[in-house]
Amino acid sequence: MGLEGRETAGQPRVTLLPTPNGSGLSQEFESHWPEIPERSPCVAGVIPVIYYSVLLGLGLPVSLLTAVALGRLATRTRKPSYYYLLALTASDIIIQVVIVFAGFLLQGALLARQVPQVVVRMANILEFAANHASVWIAILLTVDRYTALCHPLHHRAASSPGRTRRAIAAVLSAALLTGIPFYWWLDVWRDADSPSTLDEVLKWAHCLTVYFIPCGVFLVTNSAIIHRLRRRGQSGLQPRVGKSTAILLGITTLFTLLWAPRVFVMLYHMYVAPVHRDWRVHLALDVANMVAMLNTAVNFGLYCFVSKTFRATVRQVIHDAYLPCTLASQPEGMAAKPVIEPPGLPRGAEV
């Protein structure tokens, strides 16, 4: 994501941002700042730091719990949809660690951007690779649900856990490779008045690969799925929406809504008003980044709302984690006694 805004997230005073060659800002450039000396260009202040701290503190444990529950369901049922959801959750965990923690909080708030440039550029590769993996795995899930509903015979013949894992591995490899060009990504805070051709190409590539093209795929496939369900209803069959389909529609809708502000502000920055010359655009990008990162933590609530099986698995995971702690805290000689079932009692009757 380039981690725009993280270097000024916790600084209440005016700070001159360095240009790419390390020199200070010229007098002509400084004259374009809003003449509000008592305010920093980052008018959000410490709010982003607090927001990302809460998001990481709550979102990361929830994502880990989601991954464990989905791992159990994938092992138990061997359904492709659970493997895709597990890979999607793993990508969200990487985003939370690499972008939210290492980028916004550690590098931006704690170290105040005092990080070697090569480290920042290497981090860019991981950040964009994680974003690409998350979005493209959602595309795999979309195609899988489309095939299952619109071409069920082909889906049954072609679907297998091995093929699903190979598809996920291919997407993860492609995401890492496509993240390499973003080594040369230039944060919007350091853009010149006229961005270079390379910088403009990278920003357009970012918008296309993580938003416009995926949203086009989501629109086409989801429309086909909804049309198929409507045709079933018109033919007298029950247009039942399965849990996997409902989760798919929820994931793609949330992604489209939560990422739209960031893409819009990015294009506005390139062609209308640069972030570093208008505090309102600066604030808009701060808010847009916070909204986009929320996408990594909302899927757990969606899964719990839609799937009773997922809720039961989550309860079982929590119970399995809590039980050893309970047994360990009991005094010696107070260990739980095994339940004995006499031969004459039916199965499940306990004494």
pLDDT along the chain (351 residues), means of 10: 47 42 41 39 76 93 96 93 95 93 79 75 91 95 91 85 93 95 78 70 93 96 88 66 85 95 90 77 88 94 93 93 63 49 43 35
CA-only gyration radius of the chain, Å: 25
The candidate with the shortest Cα–Cα distance to 172, out of 213, 124, 131, is 131
292 assigned to some structural domain: yes
Query: Do the domain assignments include residue 211?
Result: yes
Determine contact, residues 127/103, Cβ cutoff 8 Å. Answer: yes
Number of domains composing the chain: 1
Which residue range(s) make up the domain with 157? 49-323
pLDDT at 110: 72
27 within domain boundaries: no
Phi (first) and psi of residue 240, to 5 degrees: -75, 130
1 falls within a domain: no
What pTM was estimated for this model as a whole? 0.78
Burial of 8 (0-12, 13-18, 19+ CB in 10 A): buried
Residue 31 within any structural domain of the chain: no
The verdict on residue 238 lying in a domain is yes
| CATH value at residue 158 | 1.20.1070.10
Predicted local confidence at residue 193, as pLDDT = 54
Whether 174 and 270 have beta carbons less than 8 Å apart is answered as no
Residue 273 lies in a domain: yes
Model pLDDT, residue 13: 44
| Whole-number Å distance between alpha carbons of 74 and 71 | 5
Q: Let me know if residue 347 belongs to a domain.
A: no
From residue 346, alpha-carbon distances to 25, 110, 340 in Å are 83, 62, 12
